[in-house]
Amino acid sequence: MVERTVGEGLSVATDSSISSVRPNPGGIPLRIVGVSKTFVSRGRSVEALKPVDLEISAGEFVCLLGPSGCGKSTLLSIVAGLEPATGGAVWAGEREVRGPGTDRVLLFQEAALFPWLDVQRNVEFGLRQAGVAAGERATIARRFIELVHLGGFEHSFIHQLSGGMRQRAALARALAIDPAVLLMDEPFGALDALTRDRLQIELETIWATTGKTILFVTHNVREAVALGDRVLVFSPRPGRIVREFAIDLPRPRRLEDHALVDQTAAILDVLHTAGEGPEGGPHGQ
């Protein structure tokens, strides 16, 4: 692990074992340049984000940690094109972000699935919107349903699924439209610890095989260390990046690995010493 403070410049963890398990880089780079956000409502203004600069390489997995209300979701919404920035610009590959696009998909803590559709139809939804023919839609959906280990549940409705299965379905639906970038906002935050651990491992595998660029928000330090090539820590609101850790652990990572546990502890130590513990308390367990 290499700690850098922001200002020394951002760079990417290089680990040959990562590229060896990622045969087809399918992601695009993200460039966040001086992005700031001030919300104005009913005459009151709330500065949510100070100018944020962040460069993410194609296929990189970057985790954002920070206290509640520091602007993490706001930043993801801006990158998704769902919320305009007050200042600055976001570039997804060669294109400046000016609105939502199928190259970027946002996933939330509560899987936003359609309750009136079964798993198969939920996963097919984006493909249908894109005008993909029924037969091809079904084939693609089945492939991603298998990938997230939901085989056999194609015809289940959302209320029949556990929280973890809902997140699997949401992930399959996102992957089915083949976005270059996954924006994940505490996607496992509402799950029990065992399900969370399992989904972390599976997400790492999916990322390694698809090569997507992932920007992942969590308040769990261990989760960030388990998944990220880099872990960035935001300050309390107005958010800005105050610390950066490059995570050089080999992949695939094992949650019980001593080096992973040690790195989690080391980051928690730094955060607590600096008074910047996510959510202001002990985390990462």
Binding footprint of Mg ion on the chain (CB under 5 A): 73
- 229 alpha-carbon distance from chain centroid: 12
Q: If we measure between CA atoms, which residue out of 271, 35, 58 comes closest to residue 182?
A: 58
CB of 188 vs ligand ADP, minimal distance in Å? 15
Nearest-angstrom CA–CA distance, 178 and 173: 9
CB of 73 vs ligand ADP, minimal distance in Å? 3
Degrees to nearest 5, angle at CA 149 with 80 and 170: 25
- The two beta strands, 181-185 and 213-217, are parallel
Q: If we measure between CA atoms, which residue out of 210, 207, 226 comes closest to residue 218?
A: 226
Picked from ligand ADP, Mg ion, none, the partner binding residue 14 (CB below 5 to 8 A depending on kind) is none
Tell me: does residue 219 bind ligand ADP (CB under 6 A): no
Contact map string, positions 33 to 52, toward ligand ADP, x by CB under 6 A: ------x-x----x-x----
By C-beta, is 161 or 224 nearer to Mg ion? Answer: 224
Query: Which residue stretch of 64-72, 125-133, 206-214, 221-229 sits at the interface with ligand ADP (rule: CB under 6 A)?
Result: 64-72
CB of 235 vs ligand ADP, minimal distance in Å? 11
By C-beta, is 54 or 148 nearer to Mg ion? Answer: 54
By C-beta, is 204 or 223 nearer to ligand ADP? Answer: 223
Tell me: does residue 190 bind ligand ADP (CB under 6 A): no
Nearest-angstrom CA–CA distance, 164 and 45: 37
Q: If we measure between CA atoms, which residue out of 233, 264, 234 comes closest to residue 247?
A: 264
CB of 131 vs Mg ion, minimal distance in Å? 33
Q: Which residues contact 69 (CB under 8 A, 6 or more apart)?
A: 236, 237
Nearest-angstrom CA–CA distance, 41 and 52: 22
Nearest-angstrom CA–CA distance, 71 and 52: 11
Picked from ligand ADP, Mg ion, none, the partner binding residue 121 (CB below 5 to 8 A depending on kind) is none
In the list 27, 59, 71, 126, the residue contacting ligand ADP (rule: CB under 6 A) is 71
Tell me: does residue 242 bind ligand ADP (CB under 6 A): no
Query: Which residue stretch of 13-21, 72-80, 190-198, 263-271 sits at the interface with ligand ADP (rule: CB under 6 A)?
Result: 72-80
Look at the block and give the residue holding tokens 């084939």: 139
Query: Which residue stretch of 17-25, 63-71, 125-133, 225-233 sits at the interface with ligand ADP (rule: CB under 6 A)?
Result: 63-71
Q: If we measure between CA atoms, which residue out of 87, 82, 81, 111 comes closest to residue 238?
A: 87
Picked from ligand ADP, Mg ion, none, the partner binding residue 74 (CB below 5 to 8 A depending on kind) is ligand ADP
Which residues make up the interface to ligand ADP (CB under 6 A)? Answer: 39, 41, 46, 48, 66, 68-74, 237
